[in-house]
Amino acid sequence: MEQILLEIEKTIASYLDEMNLELADLEYVPEGGYNYLRIYIERVDGVTSIEDCVSFSEKIDPLIEDFIKDKFFLEVSTPGIERRLRKEKDFLRFKGKKIRLALKSKVNDKKVLTGDLVDFISNEVVVDVEGTLINIPLEKVKKANLIYEMPDFKEEV
C-alpha cells in the first residue's frame, strides 16, 4: 500500500500546485469495516476552506479509483490543529511548538516524549523535554504531532 500512496501523491501533485495547496498527509486505513483514503491538504497561505477540500476532492476523485481496487471512501480535509508531522518541512515550520513523539524504541527509557520542538538537523528531531535537549533520528519516530495549547485567558473583573 505504501507504494500505491506514493503513486497517488505523485498523481495529485499537479492539482495541488494548480489550486495553491500543499499535501500535509496521506493515509489509507481500514476502520469499522470500511476502507478510507484520507488526504489532508492546506493552503500555501495557511487559510484552508471547506470549499478547497470539496473542490480538490472533486478534481482527484476520478483519478484515485484507478489506484485502489478495494472499495473505499475518499476523505479530503485539513490536518487540524494537532496535525501530524512527517516531513522535514513540517518539523522546520513548527519549530518552537509543543509536540508529542511516539517512538519505535525507547529513548531515555520512554517510548512517548512530549516537549518543545527546537529544530530538525541532519534527519534528527531536536526536542527540549523539561530542559533537556534530545536528538531523535527520524527513523525512530513512529508518529509525531503538534499539541495544541490553549491560550491563557485572564478574567477581568
The tens digit of pLDDT for each residue in 97-141 reads 999 999 999 888 889 999 999 999 999 999 999 999 999 999 999
Task: Indicate whether 59 and 94 sit together in one domain.
Answer: no
Task: Indicate whether 8 and 69 sit together in one domain.
Answer: yes
Give 45-82 pLDDT, tens digit per residue. Answer: 878 999 999 999 999 998 888 888 888 999 999 998 89
Task: Indicate whether 94 and 71 sit together in one domain.
Answer: no
Length of the chain as a residue count:
157
Domain-embedded: residue 156: no
Last residue of a domain, one of 20, 43, 77: 77
Name the average pLDDT for the chain. 90
pLDDT of amino acid 107: 85
Task: Indicate whether 70 and 102 sit together in one domain.
Answer: no
Task: Indicate whether 97 and 68 sit together in one domain.
Answer: no
pLDDT of amino acid 156: 67
Q: Long-range pairs for 1-10 at CB < 8 Å and ≥24 separation?
A: 1/28, 4/28, 4/67, 4/68, 7/67, 8/37, 8/64, 8/67
Range of the domain at 57: 2-77
Task: Indicate whether 106 and 72 sit together in one domain.
Answer: no
Give 80-93 pLDDT, tens digit per residue. Answer: 889 999 888 899 99
pLDDT of amino acid 157: 58
Last residue of a domain, one of 77, 98, 120: 77
Last residue of a domain, one of 77, 112, 135: 77
Task: Indicate whether 36 and 11 sit together in one domain.
Answer: yes
pLDDT of amino acid 146: 95
C-alpha cell at 4: 500505491
Residues 6+ apart with CB under 8 A from 53: 41, 76, 77, 78
pLDDT of amino acid 109: 87
Task: Indicate whether 73 and 111 sit together in one domain.
Answer: no
